[in-house]
Amino acid sequence: MSVTDRPAGTVAQPQAHPQPTQVPGLTLVPYGQGRIRGLDADGLGAHGLAMDRLVALGLPVVPGLTVPAGSAQTLGEPGTARAAVELVEQLSGRRVGDAARPLLLRLSASAPGEVAGLPPDLACLGATPGNAGDLCAVIGRAEGLYEAWAATVRMIAEYALDIPAAVLDDALLDAPEPRDRVEALLSLVARHAERPFPDDPAEQLALAARAVLARWDSPRARRSRRAQKLPADLGIALHVQALRIGPSDRSGYGTAVSRHPETGRFAAEGLFFRGVRRSAPPPHTGEPLKKLTAGTTLLEHSLLTLERHLHAPVSVDFEVRDGEISLLAASVQSRPPLRASVCLAADLARDGALEKEDAVRRISPAQVQELLHPQLKLTGDEDLLVRGLPASPGAATGVVALSSERALELAAEGTRAVLVMHETSPADVPGMLAATAVLTGSGGIASHAAVVARGAGTPAVCGAEGLRVDRTAGTVRIGDRLLREGDPVSLDGRTGAVYAGTLSVSVAGPPPELSTLLEWADDVRRLGVRVNADTAAEVNTAVALGAEGVGLCRTEHQFLGERLPLIRSVILAADPEARDEALLALEHAQHEDFKALLAAVGDRPVTVRLLDAPLHEFLPAPGEAEAAGDTAAEQRAASLREANPMLGLRGVRLALLHERLYPAQAEALFSAWADVAATGVRPQLEVMIPLVSMPEELEAAAAFVRDAAATVAARTGIEVPYRLGTMIETPRAALMAAELAEHAEFFSFGTNDLTQLTYGFSRDDVERQVLASYQERGFLTASPFARLDPHGVGALIALAVERARRVRPDIKLGVCGEHGGDPESIAFCDDLGLDYVSCSAHRVPVARMAAAHSVLRGRGSERNRTAT
């Protein structure tokens, strides 16, 4: 950032500090002297404290003073008001009524903290019918002066002179112009008050103080404080500022923030208005800061100084008079753009104003996720169709496609499509990958649609209640709404909201500074972060996002879409000869897939899980084989269908019934490793056996893998180095961890299935039907499929870790369920001392930050214990 300390042009110097003026019962405190006199926010108010800070930092401020909260009433007394006017004149080097260098006053109020309903500022104190012409001549325009003057007289008349609001409103009905309003109000005061509106600036200030305090004490203001849970008698400090008048071509006011709203980079951004400051400038009258006659160098210096002091993006109000820039107020931005916070954290650490660990601590994992995915730009006028489960983050728009085939057709035409189905299957994957988003009526955040969408980085909403798809009619009904194929919809996978029509979508693209913060997070974290990836393309994406290897390659996902017939032929083979032929084709296809995957992995670790999918995902739909003319295959498929496929013939069970299945996969894997190793790349291979519940199952499957390794070694002369392990995804496997560790060199906890089997919840049904109700009742704080249950599932994991390490102290332990991308679940895994977590590619940066935050939380807790 190119900001220097040497301002260009004329600069207002920080004000001097004359001795506080003593008046009966009150000290008038010039800006910059409050803390010296032992006053804090309770006395100075938030504004007075902020101005003290600006003066202490050596920044130029508008001359002014504070009347502390406990003494604010005395400003309504003539003697105190006159002393205040004289002190501001002394501070500013100008006098009220001086035609050559005119000065007016502004009165404002502030509470100790942020409060809604503070009285408005009263400006142009000191203006009179006699000097208004001279003031307008100096400014060069009259509108701003008369508008602010009219607002001030109006409030004084109502709250200090007790003229009813209705009377004031009636008087202004025939006065559309600001000058006319001032004349009407002054005339009304002369008729209704004890005497005309005063010309003396001290008397005007005293009336203004009484008006501000009366408004603050009004029944409406007290109700507002009660609504904010604030004391009804909360005091306010009063602030008297110099309002220096100058030519409009060289004078005005504005607001600037320290960060560009889009890029987050340091820059003075804002608008400048010419003339006398008013609370609501006319629309479209602001000018860019680059048109400031004094330049932006001093503003940039002030903003940079404040950022370094407050460690936050900041906003300043400023005025320019005769080319001199002075600050009117400064504060931390209440809702800075996320990119601004990220860039500032990195800037502060690089400049030494913040430790790198503190910079990492400032950006939450949730904010990382927000930066990585596009978001809908909501206005509040959207037409919400349905709210389902947030299955895969991001936002997208497109036309409704009711089949995978239609999604592919639309994508080929260059049309963005949202795939809408009751549920998805492996055959739908090509359409899911072609679609911009996926919407299903069934399933949860661990369903097929959710897992595939997260892996591809595609926004998805699952379990949308009331969604009914009629492909024959080409319609989808959502509650009482009917959409047709081709109608536009918009979807937010972070919130689960689906809207009718095409909404604006913000483009995802984190600033480069996020990569810097994530690199610093990598230096902090202990847990490794891997990716669940099944293809070379997914691995490349994940590595670019910081993945340190592959924690789960689901080999069954390599048979999705057009590859589905390969595994289907193995399962439905009519005889051993047909099965061997099908296995040979499968082995050849997997060999090529594995070569590409391993080459992308490089020398990193890669855990390859042998086939594990419910059988129904591979079988043809009822009637499909018969329609294709294969009645025998139809009959065999019917005989294999199960009442509960998630607990049926899958994982190691399928391999033990089809004994050539795992050897074929393992031979393809080891041969691919040998081919890749010949190029100089040596992935750290880990072969994983899924859905094991008994040590005997693992021992038998391990024998298949060892025999495959021996076969490849005999054929190629290469002994492939690998580890053999198992997935812990059944409660019995967790309980039998000690016995399984005798055969396994690593465990990977498959928390999706482990959660399903521990609770007895169907992950495809229960989220929509049960979990939402349980969360409403307070039974659950979050879906156990989204956030790891520490008491049940977590207890099983902890037990398995303890028992496995007792048998094999060096056993490698990780998590490969989608909990591996959830920050709270990651903290639990870190506390257990696991070696790594693995998640979908687009959650890898989130996991990196979450793992660092887990360590930093531990350090913070340790510091607190040490301190006590």
Active site residues: 448, 816
> Tokens at residue 327, please?
């600050």
As beta bridge partners, residue 649 has none
Closest-CA residue to 601 (of 666, 676, 667): 676
Question: Under a CB-based contact definition with an 8 Å cutoff, are residues 526 and 851 in contact?
Answer: yes
Closest-CA residue to 181 (of 193, 191, 192, 170): 170
DSSP one-letter code for 529: E
Buried b (16+ CB within 10 A) or exposed e, 788-816: bbbeebbebbbebbebbbeebeebbbbbb
Q: How far apart are the first and last CA of the chain?
A: 41
582's CB contacts (< 8 A; 6+ apart) are: 566, 569, 570, 573
Closest-CA residue to 276 (of 107, 97, 157, 149): 149
What's the rounded Cα separation, in Å, for the pair 785 and 819?
Answer: 7
Q: List C-alpha distances in Å: 258 to 2, 62, 138, 273, 298.
A: 13, 20, 32, 18, 12
What's the rounded Cα separation, in Å, for the pair 360 and 856?
Answer: 9
> Tokens at residue 537, please?
């393309």
Q: What is the phi/psi pair of residue 757, to 5°?
A: -80, -30
What's the rounded Cα separation, in Å, for the pair 155 and 564?
Answer: 77
Question: Under a CB-based contact definition with an 8 Å cutoff, are residues 31 and 240 in contact?
Answer: no
Q: What amino acid occupies position 491?
A: L
Closest-CA residue to 371 (of 227, 514, 489, 232): 514
> Tokens at residue 332, please?
């931390």
**Taking CA 66 as the corner, what is the angle to CA 62 and CA 67, rounded to the nearest 5 degrees?**
155
**Helix 365-372 crosses helix 844-867 at what angle (to 10 degrees)?**
160
> Tokens at residue 346, please?
């990195």
Signed CA dihedral, 205, 209, 211, 212: sign only? positive
What's the rounded Cα separation, in Å, for the pair 266 and 410?
Answer: 42
Q: What amino acid occupies position 820?
A: G
Question: Under a CB-based contact definition with an 8 Å cutoff, are residues 615 and 639 in contact?
Answer: no
What's the rounded Cα separation, in Å, for the pair 224 and 218?
Answer: 10
> Tokens at residue 691, please?
């859905």
Question: Under a CB-based contact definition with an 8 Å cutoff, are residues 145 and 282 in contact?
Answer: no
- What 3-state DSSP class applies to 228? coil
Total count of residues recorded for the chain: 868
